[in-house]
Amino acid sequence: MTVNTLFQSLLSSQTNGEALFLATPDGLELSYSDLRIRVRQAAGQLRAAGVAPGDRVLCQIDKSPDGLILYLATVTAGGVFVPLNTAYTAAELDYFLSDAEPAALITGPMNAPARAVAQARMVSVLTPAEIVRDCAPIKPVARSGSDLAAILYTSGTTGRSKGAMLTHDNLVSNAFALRDCWRFTADDTLLHALPIFHTHGLFVATNVVLAAGAKMIFLDAFSLDALAPRLHECSVLMGVPTFYTRMLGDDRFDRAAMSHMRLIISGSAPLLAETHAAFQERTGHRILERYGMTETNMITSNSYDGARKAGTVGLALPGVSVRIGDPDDRGIGAIEVKGPNVTPGYWRNPWQTAENFTRDGWFITGDLGRFDDDGYLSIIGREKDLVISGGFNIYPKEVEEQIDALPGVLECAVYGVPHPDMGEAVAAAVVLKSPGATTESEILSALGESLARFKIPRMVRFVDELPRNTMGKVQKVVLRSESAGV
């Protein structure tokens, strides 16, 4: 057993404690020395609240530096950090509380629905202010690299959301691999405009900064007005394709404004080749696209020094192996992954774990891809029907169940369609019990009461019947094709 792996690797190793770790637009500055102290103090508060090694800590709060402190404090106390999207409703939160069985829920004082659901399940509810206030700091709790550091819930195509387990070694190995591949150093400043409830903003962005001893300008949300005045302070920007399509529509983000930037990175959703070309033409920067998922952290990346090929996600990261399972005559097949970055499985779900690993131990991503002659991977499509909109994973069956339960609806199918800004948009094809039995506005209004906003369809089409194959399975590829012509 070693000292807490993530704390030791990403915090204790920073030699210049007075170097700046984080700054916010409202004037807050946090040095590495401050961060270490506040993390250990918050870990002490978690211990006092009853969090023992291995306990889960759910966190549903707005983006703030306190969220990063809570993440690091949880693993420093030996706990397992479980971040949740702030858009989740109380009904959705109830499932996560039931499945994770946490020792505590951290949420804002004004989040009455979440507090009520947690209290009904006898789960302690604390505010970020109660955790990050001054307290006697504790030493990092001893954990091994194979111990869990986090559980991130991810959607699939069958069943409920699954908790992808991530170990200390999963996170640390990926942080150092990305630091080296992307040439991060203590001289870099990241413009952080991503949410911190999923792997991109929490692990990719934050852990790479920590691994390099770099700093970040920490915005509470993405907006062009927030990005523009801070751009000159930064050398790196990480974003989803939506960031770059919107920047292309704003004259402030031109070649002169971005001439000092070192690196622009995109992920979490497919980047259109035309966006890649237009961004290079406007700013002079070739966006570096990479590929990863919740269960594997990052898998591949386009080259820093070499080619950054539009329409590809690059080469396998050092220590990570990628193969194409059962390729067809064009080389297209299932993308499978093995390496220190890969989840050991799904929380309390051995069936899903077994389903997502091959017999020889490779993780099945559910994506289809192929390699080019240079070894660059292209994502061709998804075996699963997961919709990724603006970087958020959306589980179609969950939305379908809500629509099917509405008065006047016979059945429906939910699927993704290309969207120039969000990557994909959620669409629904609905069969009514009788003509005019309900309307699009009534459906969307009802969904707003039970689903997070990002899951609600942007397009509802009423159809006479759903297209099916001879086995009776709904052919969503047909629906996507039909919607593209609308």
Query: Is residue 184, in this structure, part of any structural domain at all?
Result: no
**DSSP E strand boundaries for 51-134:** 56-60, 80-83, 104-107, 124-126
Question: Of 115, 144, 173, at which residue does a domain stop?
Answer: 144
* Same domain, residue pair 58 and 95: yes
Residue-wise pLDDT for 4-57, tens only, equals 788 888 887 666 778 999 999 999 999 999 999 999 999 999 999 999 999 999
In a domain, 357, yes or no: yes
Per-residue model confidence (pLDDT) at position 21: 96
Residue 50 has what DSSP assignment?
T
Q: What is the pLDDT of residue 472?
A: 57
Q: How far apart are CA 160 and CA 400, in angstroms?
A: 13
Q: Is the model's pLDDT at 226 over the cut of 50?
A: yes
Residues 310, 415: one domain? Answer: no
| Pairing verdict, β 29-31 and 20-23 | antiparallel
Within a domain: 376: yes
pLDDT at 320 over 90: yes
Among 333, 364, 382, the domain boundary falls at 382
Q: What dihedral angle (degrees, nearest 10) is formed by the CA atoms of 417, 239, 157, 339? A: 140
Residues 363 and 470 grouped into a single domain:
no
Question: In this predicted structure, what is the pLDDT of residue 383?
Answer: 73
Q: What is the CATH number of the domain that holds 250?
A: 3.40.50.12780
Does the residue 154 lie in any domain? no
Q: How many residues would you count in the chain?
A: 486
What are 27's strand-pairing partners?
none
In this structure, are 364 and 416 located in the same domain? no
Locate tokens 């023992």: which residue?
52
User: Residue 330 falls within a domain, yes or no?
Assistant: yes
> By C-alpha distance, which of 361, 392, 351 is closest to 162?
351
Structure confidence by residue, pLDDT tens digits, 473-485: 688 888 988 887 5
Would you say residue 430 has pLDDT above 90?
A: yes
**Does 428 fall in a domain?**
yes
Report the pLDDT averaged over residues 320-324.
Answer: 98
338 in helix, strand or coil? strand
Domain of residue 97: give its range.
Answer: 5-144
CATH of the domain at 38: 3.40.50.980
Q: Looking at 329-422, list the stretches that DSSP marks H as alpha helix, in order from N- to C-terminal side.
A: 350-355, 396-404
For residue 269, give the amino acid letter: A
Question: Is the CB of residue 190 less than 8 Å from the CB of residue 143?
Answer: no
- β-bridge pairing 189-192 and 236-239: parallel
Mark whether 419 and 331 lie in a shared domain: no
Amino acid 16: pLDDT = 72
Q: Is the pLDDT of residue 387 over 50?
A: yes
Q: Is the dihedral of CA 477, 152, 295, 67 positive or negative?
A: positive
Same domain, 67 and 135: yes
Q: Are residues 249 and 263 in the same domain?
A: yes
Same domain, 202 and 225: yes
171, part of any domain: no
Q: Looking at the structure, do residues 343 and 431 belong to the same domain, yes or no? A: no
Percent of the chain with pLDDT over 90: 76
* Eight-class DSSP state of 331: S
- List helix spans (H) across 311-427: 350-355, 396-404
Q: How confident is the model at residue 422 (pLDDT cuts 50, 70, 90)?
A: confident
Which of 354, 353, 286, 295 has the alpha carbon at shortest distance from 320? 295
Enter the tokens of residue 322. 């990628």
pLDDT of res. 114: 93
Q: Above 90 in pLDDT, residue 454?
A: yes
Provide the CATH number for the domain around residue 414. Answer: 3.30.300.30
Query: What's 394's DSSP letter?
Result: E
pLDDT at 9 (0 to 100): 84
Q: Which 3 state secondary structure label does DSSP give 117?
A: helix
Residue 471, pLDDT above cutoff 50 = no
Give me 24's structure tokens: 């916010």
Across the chain, mean pLDDT equals 92
**Helices (H), ranges, 167-291:** 168-181, 199, 206-212, 224-227, 241-248, 273-283
Q: Is the domain of 333 the same as that of 394?
A: no
Do the domain assignments include residue 35?
yes
Cα–Cα dist 319/47, whole Å: 35
List beta partners, residue 265. 238, 288
469 confidence band (pLDDT: 50, 70, 90): low
Average pLDDT over residues 197-204: 94
Residue 1: what pLDDT?
Answer: 46
Looking at the structure, tell me whether residues 131 and 196 fall in a common domain. Answer: no
What is the band of 63 on the pLDDT scale with cuts at 50, 70, 90?
A: very high
Mean pLDDT of 363-385: 88
Q: What is the pTM of this model?
A: 0.84
Among 382, 406, 425, identify where a domain stops: 382
Total number of domains constituting the chain = 3
Q: What b/e string do you get for 63-88 counting C-beta neighbours within 10 Å, with b at 16 or more?
A: bbbbbbbbbbbbbbbbbbbbbbbbeb
Residues 6+ apart with CB under 8 A from 470: none
Closest CA to 282 of 305, 266, 267, 264: 264
The answer, yes or no, to whether residue 427 has pLDDT greater than 90, is: yes
CA dihedral 360, 365, 369, 375 (to 10 degrees): -60
Longest dimension (CA), the chain: 70
**Based on the domain organization, do 356 and 394 belong to the same domain?**
no
Q: Is the CB of residue 100 less than 8 Å from the CB of residue 82? A: yes
Task: Give SS3 for 221.
Answer: coil
Tell me the mean pLDDT in the region 111-121: 93
Q: What is the average per-residue pLDDT within 158-176?
A: 90
